[in-house]
């Protein structure tokens, strides 16, 4: 049901419905909406400072930034993201922590005007910058902009899982992912902060009806193989852990730092982003706030959620007017409920012989 529609006749399915369906389908595909935001601090000509570049292929990154500066971009694309939104961070005019802090603030503010799904640094940043990024992500969420941020640490932190877990506790938030494992790739070691871009690409490139739990990682080994008790404690903390299962390196479990599942959080982000965007594009100011208009709005939202239900993202959908708030004047209050569908991640067998 595509094409234009007349708000006076208030059809139930045209325009709104197709917009929601397209948005839902794009979210489910994952990579089709998989944009990772990356501030790049080292780059060569022809790239210039303070500019945004969208990169979909490694060859494009080499041509823009120089082959010696693109490892974070390579990791993101190898992880499965569709594209990398690169911002070339200007060098501070003068040395000092205050000058560097101003550069980070300006960088984050620049990203606020752009659309992306996951944010990640190319390498280690200070604890203060991690805290500032967490606060920035939280503020954006409250203002209606939803994205995950992926963090990591230095090699010394990766050698001690307690340090990584402490970072997870400090960064605990529904929209924060904290990697505590470094990796070895063909004899070269990368600390968790340097490998975080790969995880960002993996998250962005995975459909919201899929989990990254047990996803294979393009690495030869982890820099520190954790014991069972250490893995268990890391998961209970909310850390993202990579393990070597004897054959390959894989994600132990797809968790955000608040201990919830990445799959569930991304489903919430999709619903929040798509409904808000389509509302702004298609029906704010176009529908009358009467019974017919409200019914059309409810039908459109329900159709979008049902598409997600059809693709095993969520279930138990209910959409209606909020009984506790009057939808009068120019305000409409909807009450939406659903249950996110989780992946099968723990299988318990009882064998009787």
Residue where a domain terminates, one of 227, 261, 295:
261
Contact 181/262 with Cβ under 8 angstroms?
Answer: no
* Residues 280 and 244 grouped into a single domain: no
What is the C-alpha to C-alpha distance for residues 298 and 310, in angstroms, rounded to an integer? 18
Q: Could you give the 3-state DSSP secondary structure of residue 331?
A: coil
* Residues 38 and 95 grouped into a single domain: yes
* Residues 169 and 270 grouped into a single domain: no
Residue where a domain terminates, one of 210, 239, 261:
261
Q: Two tokens at 61?
A: 């990154």
Q: Two tokens at 167?
A: 């970072």
Look up the CATH number of the domain holding residue 189. Answer: 3.30.1490.450
Q: What is the dihedral of CA 281, 287, 293, 296, to 10 degrees?
A: -30
Contact 196/179 with Cβ under 8 angstroms?
Answer: yes
**How wide is the angle at C-alpha 296 spanned by C-alphas 290 and 301, nearest 5°?**
125
pLDDT computed for residue 25 by the predictor: 63
Whether residue 40 is contained in a domain is answered as yes
Q: Per the structure, how many domains does the chain have?
A: 2
Residue where a domain terminates, one of 261, 285, 305:
261
Q: What is the dihedral of CA 14, 19, 21, 26, to 10 degrees?
A: 160
The single-letter DSSP state of residue 71 is H
Helix 127-142, helix 97-112: angle, nearest 10: 30
Peptide bond into 46 cis (omega under 30): yes
| C-alpha distances out from residue 54 to 104, 194, 245, Å | 20, 20, 36
Whether residue 137 is contained in a domain is answered as yes
Contact 224/159 with Cβ under 8 angstroms?
Answer: yes
* Residues 198 and 325 grouped into a single domain: no
* Residues 192 and 92 grouped into a single domain: yes
Query: Domain limits at 329?
Result: 16-24+265-340
pLDDT computed for residue 144 by the predictor: 87
Q: Going by DSSP bridges, is the β-strand pair 188-190/221-222 parallel, antiparallel, or unpaired?
A: unpaired
| C-alpha distances out from residue 205 to 24, 32, 94, 201, 212, Å | 15, 8, 38, 6, 10
Give me the residues of the chain with pLDDT under 50, please: 1-19, 31
H helices of 4-149, in order, are: 16-29, 58-65, 71-79, 97-112, 127-142
Instruction: Give how far the C-alpha of residue 265 lies from the chain's centroid of Cα atoms, to the nearest Å.
Output: 8
H helices of 181-290, in order, are: 192-205, 228-237, 262-278
Q: Two tokens at 71?
A: 């490892």
pLDDT tens figures, 140-187: 998 889 999 999 999 999 999 999 999 999 999 999 999 999 999 999
Q: Going by DSSP bridges, is the β-strand pair 35-40/83-88 parallel, antiparallel, or unpaired?
A: parallel
* Residues 194 and 69 grouped into a single domain: yes
* Residues 315 and 253 grouped into a single domain: no
Which residues fall within 8 angstroms of residue 221, CB to CB, at 6 or more apart?
183, 184, 244, 249
Q: Could you give the 3-state DSSP secondary structure of residue 307?
A: helix
Look up the CATH number of the domain holding residue 317. Answer: 3.10.450.690
pLDDT computed for residue 21 by the predictor: 58
pLDDT computed for residue 334 by the predictor: 86
* Residues 90 and 112 grouped into a single domain: yes
């Amino acid at each position: 049901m595509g094409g234009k529609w007349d708000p006076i006749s208030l059809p139930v399915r045209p325009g709104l419905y197709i917009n929601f369906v397209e948005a839902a389908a794009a979210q489910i595909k994952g990579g089709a909406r998989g944009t990772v935001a990356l501030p790049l601090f080292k780059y060569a000509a022809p790239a210039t400072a303070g500019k945004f570049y969208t990169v979909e292929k490694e060859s494009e990154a080499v041509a823009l930034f120089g082959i010696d500066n693109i490892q974070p971009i390579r990791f993101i694309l190898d992880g499965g993201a569709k594209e990398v939104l690169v911002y070339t961070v200007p060098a501070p005019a003068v040395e000092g922590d205050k000058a560097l802090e101003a550069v980070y603030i300006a960088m984050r503010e620049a990203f606020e005007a752009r659309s992306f799904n996951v944010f990640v640094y190319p390498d280690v940043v200070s604890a203060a910058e991690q805290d500032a990024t967490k606060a920035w992500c939280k503020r954006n969420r409250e203002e209606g902009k939803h994205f995950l941020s992926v963090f990591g640490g230095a090699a010394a932190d990766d050698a001690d899982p307690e340090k990584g877990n402490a970072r997870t506790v400090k960064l605990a938030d529904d929209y924060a992912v904290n990697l505590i494992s470094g990796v070895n790739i063909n004899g070269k070691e990368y600390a968790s902060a340097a490998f975080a871009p790969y995880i960002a690409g993996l998250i962005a490139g995975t459909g919201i009806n899929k989990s990254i739990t047990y996803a294979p990682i393009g690495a030869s080994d982890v820099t520190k193989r954790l014991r069972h008790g250490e893995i268990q404690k890391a998961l209970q903390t909310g850390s993202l852990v990579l393990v070597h299962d004897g054959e390959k390196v894989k994600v132990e479990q797809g968790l955000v730092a608040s201990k919830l599942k990445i799959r569930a959080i991304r489903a919430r982000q999709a619903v929040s982003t798509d409904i808000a965007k389509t509302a702004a594009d298609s029906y704010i100011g176009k529908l009358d706030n009467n019974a017919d208009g409200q019914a059309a709005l409810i039908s459109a939202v329900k159709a979008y959620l049902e598409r997600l239900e059809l693709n095993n993202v969520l279930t138990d959908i209910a959409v209606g007017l909020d009984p506790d708030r009057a939808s009068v004047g120019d305000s409409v209050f909807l009450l939406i409920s659903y249950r996110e569908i989780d992946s099968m991640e723990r299988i318990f067998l009882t064998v009787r012989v």
